[in-house]
Structure 1
Amino acid sequence: MEHTTLTPVFVGLRLALHGLIGGITGVVLVRALLNPGPATGGIVVAAVVLLGVYLAGALVVRWDGDRRRHLGRVWLLALTASWSALFWCTPEAAYLVFPLYFLHLHLWSPRVGVAAVAFLALVTVVGAGVRFGWNVGAVVGPVIGALVAVLVGWGYRSLAREAAEREALMAELLATQTRLAATERQTGVLAERGRLAREIHDTVAQGLSSIQMLLHAAERADPEGPGVEHVRLARTTAAANLADTRRFIRELTPPALDDQGLAGALRRLAATQWSTPRVLVRVIAPTEHADWPMDVQTAVLRIAQGAVGNALRHADATAVVVELSGDATRLQMIVTDDGCGFDVEDQVRRQSVGATDSFGLTAIRDRVGQFGGRLRVVSSPGGGTTVAVDLPLSSPATAP
């Protein structure tokens, strides 16, 4: 049995069931041996057979899947038959029908299990009346026991289902935590690489460029001077080092954000990856490269990839518009599609209880939250979807 938070409860119920069958059968054996009679031999044989069949169930548990289920039902039928033989010999075996109720409820489907319990109760009442005489206790006892067993069995199934749902939710939460941690690490790495790229560009690269220009001016001022060869060599060396520095900057800058920054990256994605003969993706963004922080640009790029990806994969959209705007204090992005839309509240509720494997909106919401921004999702079935993101550029999360 797979370990869950309710495993001790299930183990306790099974131990109680084992103890009940073993205890009642033991009492029947002891009473038959202490009060010998014509049926003593049959009682002993039937009781031993019943215990042997019950212990054989330990072998069935070792099988897996459908084979265990089929063998378990065959085993239960054999156990019920051996109980019937013991019950025919002594009325005290009637008490064993109570644990049999639980076994039938557990191994059969709910409807078949209830029908089996009703049949066993009927057999117990009729058999006791015909074989040993009719009385109120022989009728009321099995019926009440059957009702109690059905109620407890339903409770057991509900408890097991709730335990499975909790384990699935816990696994999803752990997986989400792992993904968020990986995302945070990746965002931190990209932000640090962007910061280093800007620092190198503003210091080393600018200094080498100035040195190259000064040496070039010195070479032109005195082209025939005695040290012109050294000046030319120094200028060439500075040019080579500047080229290496710019290569380092390109390698440090996230590939999707180099050259034209966030707007250029979105346009490239729209032209090369997002747009298809069936779907047109347009990007509306400033033509000039905005000097937004690299970590914020990276986050918005990832949010755009998630929102557009959702529209392409789930919304069956034919047109998607990505609109980018902002200033020195804020960066806004709106992604609108003409797809099938969805019920936002229902989607949030299903994600909160782990009833869906979709992670798109959760990832977007968490990424926006990391930067202290605001996320607004507007959608309705058949009405398309709008995802609006507003990120501040002066929050602690985006500060260098």
Structure 2
Amino acid sequence: MAQLLGAQRDDTRLLAVIVHSAFYVLLAASLMRWLIRHSETRSTPLIVVLSVVIAVLYALSELRQSGRLVWFALLVLTWSVLVVLAPSFAWCAVPLVYTGLRILSERVAVILVVALTALVVVSQVRIAGWLDPNLVLAPPAVAAVTTALFVGMRRQAERQAALIDDLVRTRQELAATERREGTLAERQRLAMEIHDTLAQGLSSQRMLLQAADLVWDSDPPLAHTHLRSAAAIAERDLAEARRFVHDLAPADLAAGGSLPAALVALAERATTATLTVRCHIEGTPGPLPQRVEATLLRIAQGALANVREHADATTATITLTSLDDQIVLDVADDGRGFDPGAQADSARHRGYGLPAIRARARQLGGTCTIESAPGDGTVLTTAIPRGPGAPATADTNADR
């Protein structure tokens, strides 16, 4: 677009140079014609002076933006006097028409064109001494063509300028939208990572510190054990925070660990005095893309966070099943369960648990389903295709 604007400005400048040059050539030619044919007349000095004045006024009307209309009005008035004295200067009307169309409003410019054309016709008929049809019709025809071409070109240029402005504005809006979407996507990513890692760690640390406080006086060794466990969790959460800020793989996968091993380690860490977490691996997952492994691990972390915070369960089971066309992750608990349909309306007001899980699954073309009922526990199933998958349709599940 910048190149288009530059080319348009170059064309305008080139046309202006041609018209200005044509004006001075016509002015000089008309003066020379007068001097050759009428050098002995008494009005010759006045004609020469008026020609010089017109040349100066034309330059001032083009070079000076302040008072430009005044200079142009003086130019037209002086030329009109000159045409009355020497009709051959009527040829300068065409550049004057161009200048008037360029700097005046369209209506005023048309009125000026009509007036100048009438003056040219009258001056030419006065020289001929009779009503020559060519002298009467040719100047209006030339003026009409010149005016129509210029007005058409100006309107087209205005439409192009408006189109370019719309394109520039649209590009700016698209850029702003992309920035906003990028910001929202990064914000959502951080929120999901915090929910699946730091939130769980902080919850575990709080419970360990509370347990240490309860037995601080009665059982100091146990209190110290709780403190050391809390410190280890804090160290691990710090490493996780550094990794997800830089959008790196989870720590369990960073050192080349496999997804099954990472899930087993997660189950061991999630096991507490009130919750037992088991992990089962069915089939051989084989090598998976790092993004798929990281997503499934984060989904398992988020599901266990939901179990600990909402389910009031005593046992939970992580099952990773490898099929020919997809990898399936199940997280089941024996908690109090819930009615997904009854909670669907309030889902958007809840936390990042299930929305984050569904978002992660959709990013890889997977699906997330929930089987639950009050008092019957909950089973969360996430299926990720092994090959490229289309974005999954919206899940009819509620948030926990």
TM range (shorter): 0.5 to 0.7
Q: Does 1:293 align with 2:356?
A: yes
Query: What's the TM-score, normalizing by structure 2?
Result: 0.54
Cα distance in 2 between the residues matched to 1:91 and 1:203: 97
Whether the 8 Å contact between 1:29 and 1:44 is mirrored in structure 2 is: yes
> Percent identity of the aligned residues?
18
Q: Does 1:105 align with 2:101?
A: yes
Whether the 8 Å contact between 2:120 and 2:139 is mirrored in structure 1 is: yes
2:25 alignment partner AA:
G
Instruction: Indicate the residue corresponding to 1:54 in structure 2.
Output: 58
Q: Does 1:142 align with 2:139?
A: yes
Instruction: Indicate the residue corresponding to 1:381 in structure 2.
Output: none
Partner SS, residue 328 of structure 1: strand
1:26 alignment partner AA:
A
Q: Does 1:170 align with 2:167?
A: yes
Find the structure with the greater CA-based Rg.
2
Seen in structure 2, the aligned counterparts of structure 1 residues 81 and 28 have a Cα distance that, compared at 3 Å, is same
Q: Does 1:158 align with 2:155?
A: yes
Structure 1 residue 82: Cα displacement: 1.6
Q: How does 1:91-130 map onto structure 2 within 5 Å? A: 91-130=87-126
Instruction: Indicate the residue corresponding to 1:192 in structure 2.
Output: 189
Structure 1 residue 94: Cα displacement: 1.0
Structure 1 residue 45: Cα displacement: 1.3
Whether the 8 Å contact between 2:101 and 2:109 is mirrored in structure 1 is: yes
Seen in structure 2, the aligned counterparts of structure 1 residues 295 and 152 have a Cα distance that, compared at 3 Å, is farther
Seen in structure 2, the aligned counterparts of structure 1 residues 120 and 171 have a Cα distance that, compared at 3 Å, is same
Cα distance in 2 between the residues matched to 1:131 and 1:26: 20
Q: Does 1:6 align with 2:11?
A: no
Cα deviation 1:126-179 (Å, max 9, x = unaligned): 132235533333222211121112201221221221132122113212311320
Q: What is the count of residue pairs matched by the alignment?
A: 265
Instruction: Indicate the residue corresponding to 1:40 in structure 2.
Output: 44
Q: How does 1:1-400 map onto structure 2 within 5 Å? A: 5-35=7-37, 36-38=39-41, 39-61=43-65, 63=66, 71-131=67-127, 133-134=129-130, 135-201=132-198, 204-205=201-202, 208=205, 219=215, 228-236=219-227, 284-286=345-347, 291-293=354-356, 328=368, 392=394
Query: What's the TM-score, normalizing by structure 1?
Result: 0.54
Seen in structure 2, the aligned counterparts of structure 1 residues 108 and 202 have a Cα distance that, compared at 3 Å, is closer
Whether the 8 Å contact between 1:191 and 1:294 is mirrored in structure 2 is: no
Cα distance in 1 between the residues matched to 2:56 and 2:369: 79
Whether the 8 Å contact between 1:4 and 1:167 is mirrored in structure 2 is: no
Cα distance in 2 between the residues matched to 1:74 and 1:30: 28
Cα distance in 2 between the residues matched to 1:122 and 1:295: 80
Cα deviation 1:276-297 (Å, max 9, x = unaligned): xxxxxxx953486560127959
Seen in structure 2, the aligned counterparts of structure 1 residues 159 and 147 have a Cα distance that, compared at 3 Å, is same
Cα deviation 1:254-289 (Å, max 9, x = unaligned): xxxxxxx9xxxxxxxxxxxxxxxxxxxxx9534865
Instruction: Indicate the residue corresponding to 2:381 in structure 1.
Output: none
Seen in structure 2, the aligned counterparts of structure 1 residues 13 and 158 have a Cα distance that, compared at 3 Å, is same
Whether the 8 Å contact between 2:87 and 2:120 is mirrored in structure 1 is: no
2:368 alignment partner AA:
A
Instruction: Indicate the residue corresponding to 1:314 in structure 2.
Output: none
Structure 1 residue 42: Cα displacement: 2.6
Instruction: Indicate the residue corresponding to 2:377 in structure 1.
Output: none
Partner SS, residue 76 of structure 2: helix
Structure 1 residue 95: Cα displacement: 1.0
Structure 1 residue 3: Cα displacement: 5.1
The range that moved more, 118-127 or 5-14, is 5-14
The range that moved more, 234-243 or 23-32, is 234-243
State the Cα RMSD in Å.
4.4
Whether the 8 Å contact between 2:87 and 2:123 is mirrored in structure 1 is: no
Partner SS, residue 197 of structure 2: helix
Cα distance in 2 between the residues matched to 1:26 and 1:329: 89
Whether the 8 Å contact between 2:121 and 2:139 is mirrored in structure 1 is: yes
Cα distance in 2 between the residues matched to 1:92 and 1:138: 13
1:177 alignment partner AA:
L
Cα deviation 1:70-103 (Å, max 9, x = unaligned): x232222111112112212322211111122222
Structure 1 residue 229: Cα displacement: 2.1
